[in-house]
């Protein structure tokens, strides 16, 4: 196909690529430039909108020197990382079990994983608010088992946030893992068994490395949004656990400090740039093209 | 199936579904408390249907979800076709990055940035006023990415030979699209539409940022009610939302399956 595309073909391509491209440039990319600009402004409570474009880096200096904000950043990254590992530990066996199930059963098993994702996120977190409360089902169970006397209240602790993230993001972990495990060539495992490898050894040297792209994609799909999570720390976490998404929300809605909220957003985006770029590369490879 | 995978699946699905099941069960609870069962009752259902603020919020959400689903399906389909069928055009790598980014971008970041854009636009060109339009635009921007991925995946299942054959036989691009591409991706369109509808119906964070003071969507109403404490009416809403999304997903899965076999 060395020939130059004919005019109607080029026209068709412009008609296909043009509208979504223009939309995303205007409503997705341009806003980031505005946020970046406003993050160098200052709060002006009497103005509407409450922003004075002063061109100072004061917001950044403040965020990076205030222990509260630095803590919020670090604890967001830590909580998201721990929750991602926990999600992987639960999601991997599930994805593996689904991939090993009879082919006729796989669609229904997969659909059961996807269904909660279609069900309201807010409502799924609300469900845990009831379950984890002091007189909720989980505490009743813990009391019935009488493990350690009074179990205390899980709601409001960091564990509640981990649980919320694992629960809410599990489908995002299982789906890419399943996609990677399903493609796995079974004859490799049979060959390993024939050559005397124990199942555990075969898993470590064949299944796990070959499913690595799925592991990375799944972890990124959980980690990146979890860092900026707001609903989960707000509804399940306590006052002592700071996450940066909640800080941004409060700066914006409670303190109406738009420039500071913008600077928080810019710093969050910078911290997530590397994982987002990695995810982009994985996906772009899937889409092919040059 | 062997014992180990069976146990894993049983645990996994119990983890995923037990919380949802308790929410549904407690929507029929007599007591005001959402943690203590005291008998069957449908009084919270009647209370919800008499709650005008909630009903108004739900109607607004449904209207936004409908507009969003239609627009996101058109834009997302074009984007999906571009991803799957146009491997070379100027700015493709930027285009791909822009389509993928909304899938992982934390919503608080998107929320602040879009609001600042809308405020700036309103100041300089007097449009858009915050409310229905800004919420719809925000929802379209992230849900079109999901539609694009669904359409792209569908197109990747079929090679280009049919389309190329039609082109070689002299069909104009639009005729090729209408008689070959469109029928191929029809199930993905329905599935993408339903997904976009559901995503919009559920979105809280973006909506909270870009909505004006006057408009309250269902998730916003649910969120402010949940912050005040557990409330059985929320369980009723949850049950309805779960029922709707289950029907939507099952319908779209059956559709995708039947067409693929045919």
Q: Please, are residues B115 and B206 in contact by the beta-carbon 8 Å criterion?
A: no
Radius of gyration over every alpha carbon of chain B, rounded to an integer in angstroms = 22
Residue linked to tokens 């709601």: A155
Q: Is residue B160 part of a domain?
A: yes
Q: Is residue A14 part of a domain?
A: no
Q: Specify the pLDDT at position A244.
A: 92
Q: Is residue A185 part of a domain?
A: yes
Mean pLDDT of the region A182-194: 82
Q: Is residue A29 part of a domain?
A: no
From chain A, pick out residues whose CB is under 8 angstroms from the CB of B257. Answer: 107
Strands (E), B122-217: none
Q: Is residue A10 part of a domain?
A: no
Q: Is residue A61 part of a domain?
A: yes
Q: Is residue A23 part of a domain?
A: no
> Any residues with CB less than 8 A from the CB of A89 and at least 6 apart, and which?
none
Q: Specify the pLDDT at position A206.
A: 83
Q: Is the pLDDT of residue B16 over 50?
A: yes
Q: Specify the pLDDT at position B75.
A: 97
From chain B, pick out residues whose CB is under 8 angstroms from the CB of A252. Answer: 112, 209
Worst-scoring range by mean pLDDT, A159-173, A242-256, B1-15, B234-248?
B1-15
**What is the domain-level CATH number for residue A114?**
1.10.3720.10
Mutate one of B108, B114, B227 to test the A interface: name it (highest A CB count within 10 A). B108
Closest CA of chain B from A119, distance in Å:
6
- Domain membership of residue A172 as a residue range: 35-287
User: Does the CB of B58 have a partner CB in chain A at under 8 Å?
Assistant: no
Q: Is residue A55 part of a domain?
A: yes
Q: Specify the pLDDT at position B231.
A: 81
What is the number of structural domains in chain A?
A: 1
Give the residues across from B40 on adjacent strands: B29
Q: Specify the pLDDT at position A151.
A: 61
From chain A, pick out residues whose CB is under 8 angstroms from the CB of B237. Answer: 123
Q: Please, are residues A171 and A91 in contact by the beta-carbon 8 Å criterion?
A: no
Q: Specify the pLDDT at position B124.
A: 86
Instruction: Give the number of other Cβ atoms within 10 Å of residue B28's Cβ.
Output: 18
* Predicted confidence (pLDDT) per residue in A43-83, tens digit: 887 777 878 888 888 999 999 999 889 999 999 999 999 99
Closest CA of chain B from A259, distance in Å:
10
In this complex, do B12 and A93 lie within 8 Å of one another by their Cβ atoms? yes
Instruction: Give the number of other Cβ atoms within 10 Å of residue B36's Cβ.
Output: 13
Q: Specify the pLDDT at position A102.
A: 84
Q: Which of A31, A101, A229 sits opposite B117 (nearest CB)?
A: A31
Q: Specify the pLDDT at position B30.
A: 81
In this complex, do A283 and B144 lie within 8 Å of one another by their Cβ atoms? no
Q: Which of A12, A126, A272 sits opposite B234 (nearest CB)?
A: A126
Q: Is residue B103 part of a domain?
A: yes
* Predicted confidence (pLDDT) per residue in A76-125, tens digit: 999 999 999 999 999 999 999 998 888 888 888 988 898 888 888 888 99
pLDDT band at B72 (very low <50, low <70, confident <90, very high): very high
**What is the domain-level CATH number for residue B110?**
1.10.3720.10
Name the CA dihedral angle for B3, B7, B10, B13, rounded to a multiple of 10 degrees.
-120
User: Does the CB of B90 have a partner CB in chain A at under 8 Å?
Assistant: no
Question: Across all residues in chain B, what is the average pLDDT?
Answer: 87
Tell me the HSE value of B120 on the side-chain side, using a 13 A CA sphere.
19
Q: Specify the pLDDT at position A50.
A: 78
pLDDT band at B41 (very low <50, low <70, confident <90, very high): confident
In this complex, do A137 and B35 lie within 8 Å of one another by their Cβ atoms? yes
Q: Please, are residues B236 and B27 in contact by the beta-carbon 8 Å criterion?
A: yes
Q: Is residue A6 part of a domain?
A: no
Question: Across all residues in chain A, what is the average pLDDT?
Answer: 86
- Domain membership of residue B95 as a residue range: 59-261
Euclidean distance between CA atoms A155 and B112, whole angstroms? 28
Q: Is residue B11 part of a domain?
A: no
Q: What is the ipTM of this complex?
A: 0.90
CA angle A245/A69/B103 to nearest 5° reads 25
What is the number of structural domains in chain B?
A: 1
Mean pLDDT of the region B191-219: 90
């Amino acid at each position: 196909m060395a020939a130059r595309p004919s005019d109607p073909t080029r026209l068709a391509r412009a008609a296909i690529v043009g509208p979504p491209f223009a939309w995303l440039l205007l409503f997705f990319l341009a806003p980031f430039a505005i946020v970046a600009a406003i993050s160098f402004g200052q709060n002006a409570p009497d103005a509407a909108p409450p922003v004075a474009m002063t061109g100072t880096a004061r917001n950044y200096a403040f965020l990076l020197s205030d222990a509260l904000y630095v803590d919020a950043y670090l604890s967001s990254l830590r909580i998201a990382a721990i929750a991602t590992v926990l999600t992987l530990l639960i999601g991997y066996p599930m994805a593996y079990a689904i991939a090993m199930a009879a082919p006729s059963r796989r669609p229904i098993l997969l659909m059961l994983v996807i269904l909660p994702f279609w069900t309201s996120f807010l409502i799924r977190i609300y469900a845990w608010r009831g379950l984890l409360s002091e007189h909720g089902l989980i505490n009743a169970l813990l009391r019935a088992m009488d493990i350690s006397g009074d179990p205390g209240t899980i709601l409001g602790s960091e564990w509640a946030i981990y649980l919320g993230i694992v629960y809410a993001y599990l489908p995002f972990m299982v789906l890419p893992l399943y996609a990677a495990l399903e493609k796995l060539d079974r004859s490799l495992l049979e060959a390993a068994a024939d050559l005397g490898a124990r199942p555990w050894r075969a898993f470590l040297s064949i299944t796990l490395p070959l499913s690595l792209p799925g592991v990375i994609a799944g972890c990124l799909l959980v980690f990146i949004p979890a860092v900026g999570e707001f609903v989960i720390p707000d509804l399940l976490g306590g006052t002592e656990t700071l996450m940066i998404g909640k800080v941004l929300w409060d700066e914006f809605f409670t303190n109406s400090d738009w420039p500071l909220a913008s600077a928080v957003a810019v710093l969050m985006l910078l911290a997530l740039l590397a994982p987002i770029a990695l995810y982009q590369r994985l996906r772009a490879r899937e889409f092919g093209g040059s | 199936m062997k014992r180990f995978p069976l146990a894993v699946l049983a645990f996994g699905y119990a983890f995923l579904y037990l919380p949802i099941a308790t929410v549904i069960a407690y929507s029929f609870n007599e007591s005001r408390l959402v943690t203590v069962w005291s008998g069957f009752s449908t009084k919270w259902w009647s209370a919800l249907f008499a709650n005008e603020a909630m009903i108004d919020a739900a109607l607004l959400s449904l209207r936004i979800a409908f507009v969003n689903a239609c627009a996101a399906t058109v834009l997302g389909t074009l984007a999906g076709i571009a991803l799957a069928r146009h491997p070379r055009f100027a700015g493709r790598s930027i285009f791909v990055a822009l389509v993928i980014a909304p899938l992982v971008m934390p919503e608080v970041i998107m929320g602040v940035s879009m609001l600042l854009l809308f405020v700036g636009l309103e100041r300089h060109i007097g449009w858009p006023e915050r409310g229905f339009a800004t919420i719809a635009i925000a929802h379209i921007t992230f849900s079109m990415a999901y539609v694009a991925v669904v359409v792209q995946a569908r197109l990747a299942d079929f090679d280009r030979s049919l389309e190329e054959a039609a082109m070689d036989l002299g069909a104009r691009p639009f005729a090729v699209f209408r008689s070959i591409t469109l029928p191929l991706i029809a199930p993905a369109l329905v599935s993408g539409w339903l997904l976009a509808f559901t995503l919009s119906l559920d979105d809280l964070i973006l909506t909270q940022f870009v909505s004006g003071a006057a408009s309250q969507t269902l998730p916003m109403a649910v969120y402010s009610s949940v912050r005040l404490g557990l409330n059985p009416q929320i369980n009723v809403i949850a049950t309805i939302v779960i029922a709707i999304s289950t029907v939507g997903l099952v319908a779209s899965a059956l559709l995708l399956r039947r067409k693929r076999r045919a």
